Every structure is written in C-alpha cells, then in structure tokens.
C-alpha cells in the first residue's frame, strides 16, 4: 500500500469514527490519546483477520473438517476402518463420524442431510456410484428345497422367512 493510500485510509477511518487518531504537524505524525486507546483493538482485528485467512486456507486445502458417513454394519466392520486409515494418512485433521444403520436408514440420512454420504445398496431415490460388487450368502438347512441349486436369486427366496443381524448405533 502506498503512503498516499495509507493516508487516505486513515482519514476515512477517522471520519467514520468521528475522532482523530493521529496528529499531523510539520510532516510528522504522532498518535493521539484516542489512537492509543483503540490500538489494542486494531491489533486484535488484524490478528483475527490472520486467523480467518488461515481457516479459509485450511478449508480450501481440506486440512481439517468433519465427514459424516452412513453405513451398514458389515461394511463398517470389514472395509471402512482401512479406508478411513488411508484417508487420515493423507488428511490427518479430517474427523469422521460413522452412523450405523440398515439400508433404509442410510438412504433417509442422505436425503435429509444427516450424513454427507452413505454406503448402501442401490436405490432409485438417490444418485449412486458403485464402489464394490459384493455377494451375499444364503444359509439354509440340508432339507431345504433350494439346497442343491447352483445359484439362488433374491426372487427365489423372496417369500422365505429369514434372519438378519442388524446393529443400530446412533
């Protein structure tokens, strides 16, 4: 900033505040008592400005933040810890909050904005990006009619009673 620009800025500030901050006599400038009394506040403003600039740089550079993920239990148990570990190696100040639920919970959390993203099965209600292809296992008694089938589809077992383990932690 040029000396002229500084002088104009100070004059504008003095006019805005309605007080003189500096005495100008014979090409010398001396701070007034009013200037001395507000100087600590001016320094604090400059310090706060630097803090704001630093926070903005951190946000732009993804240096810190919070990511909320909705997942189903098996993904949390098997795959998520390794993914979070790798991400934290690159971005150590990023914090994760993991919400565990069933597929319907996850879709609802994403729709309402409770989580930043969810890991779930495909749904026509949201935009999905495939991460992995996974198979499910059907366990049945030796006497079940589908026991010898080489492939069992969802349609094959749609009317069968089933047990599913859900662990909900919120």
- Dump pLDDT digits (tens) for 15-39: 998 999 899 888 888 999 999 999 8
Which CATH number, 3.40.50.620, 3.90.1560.10, 3.40.50.150, 3.40.190.10, labels domain 65-133? 3.40.190.10
Position 168 scores a pLDDT of 44
Who wins on pLDDT, 17 or 136? 17
3-60 domain in CATH 1.20.1250.20?
A: no
129-149: average pLDDT = 82
Task: Determine whether 102 is exposed, middle or buried from the number of CB atoms within 10 Å of its CB (0-12, 13-18, 19+).
Answer: middle
The mean pLDDT of the chain is: 83
Categorize the per-residue pLDDT at 165 as very low, low, confident or very high, splitting at 50, 70 and 90: low
User: Partners of 62 in the beta sheet?
Assistant: none
With beta carbons less than 8 A apart as the criterion, state whether 106 and 73 touch.
Answer: no
Q: Say whether pLDDT at 124 is over 80.
A: no
Q: What is the phi-psi region of residue 27: left when phi exceeds 0, alpha when psi lies from -120 to 50, beta otherwise?
A: left
Enumerate the domain spans of the chain.
3-60, 65-133
Task: Report how far residue 99's alpha carbon sits from residue 105's, in angstroms, rounded to the nearest whole number.
Answer: 9
Task: Report how far residue 104's alpha carbon sits from residue 51's, in angstroms, rounded to the nearest whole number.
Answer: 42
Q: What is the pTM of this model?
A: 0.50
Q: Output DSSP code: residue 84.
A: H
């Amino acid at each position: 900033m040029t000396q002229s620009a500084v002088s104009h800025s100070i004059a504008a500030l003095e006019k805005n505040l309605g007080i003189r901050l500096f005495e100008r006599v014979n090409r010398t400038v001396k701070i007034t008592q009013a200037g001395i009394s507000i100087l600590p506040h001016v320094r604090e403003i400059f310090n706060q400005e630097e803090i704001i600039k630093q926070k903005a740089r951190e946000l732009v550079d993804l240096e810190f933040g919070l990511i909320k993920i909705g997942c189903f239990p098996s993904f949390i148990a098997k795959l998520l810890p390794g993914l979070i570990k790798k991400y934290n190696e690159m971005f150590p100040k990023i914090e994760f909050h993991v919400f565990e639920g069933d597929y319907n919970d996850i879709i609802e959390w994403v729709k309402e904005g409770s989580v930043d993203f969810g890991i779930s099965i495909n749904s026509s209600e949201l935009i999905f990006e495939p991460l992995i292809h996974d198979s499910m296992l059907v366990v049945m008694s030796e006497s079940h009619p589908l026991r010898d089938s080489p492939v069992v589809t969802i349609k094959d077992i749609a009317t069968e009673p089933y047990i599913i383990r859900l662990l909900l932690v919120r």
